[in-house]
Amino acid sequence: MRTESDLKRSLIHEAATPEHRNRALGNHAARVGFPVIALLLMLAQGTKAESRDPLCPSGMWSPKLEFQLEKATYKETLAWLSGWSYALTELGRSEANRETPRYCLPPCRLVTGQPLLAILNNAFKGQTITSEQAAEALWIGVPIIYRCSKQ
């Protein structure tokens, strides 16, 4: 069984290779400017390798929005993101029954808002975006961040 630090090193190494990045993101994601390496590094920072999975944050955190979702307020944006967390968690549970799932849930069995917010902050820092743009970035980012270990 691979340790968390082994997994992080592997993900960072694989995301750093142009072949993997292009295959995983595809041309459309490259056009969006989705910075996978920065996101992986950010998720890896601030976590103790021996204590918990970076995709299963625990404790309190203060969400910082670095983009504007249409004309939504801070609370409305967080509520929108919470809806995505719930929907992706439920979809992840049903994906687990497929032969080749699109993504896999982490050990805590939840897609939390913190990694989703990191995807959006990294992709759209300083921009006003539509919910369609945000959804597209999440559909691109979630299978990369929540990769199945079998794939």
Closest CA to 78 of 110, 45, 41, 121: 121
Q: 74 with 65: CB under 8 angstroms? A: yes
Phi, psi dihedrals of residue 16, rounded to the nearest 5°: -80, -20
Q: Summarize the confidence of residues 102-119 as an average pLDDT.
A: 94
Q: Which residues, listed in sequence order, are joined to residue 91 by a DSSP beta bridge?
A: none
Q: Summarize the confidence of residues 66-89 as an average pLDDT.
A: 97
Quote the pTM value: 0.66
Backbone CA torsion sign across 71, 76, 78, 84 = negative
Q: What residue type is assigned to position 147 of the chain? A: R
* pLDDT confidence tier of residue 43, bands split at 50, 70 and 90: low
Rounded CA Rg of the chain: 15
SS3 of residue 24 by DSSP: helix
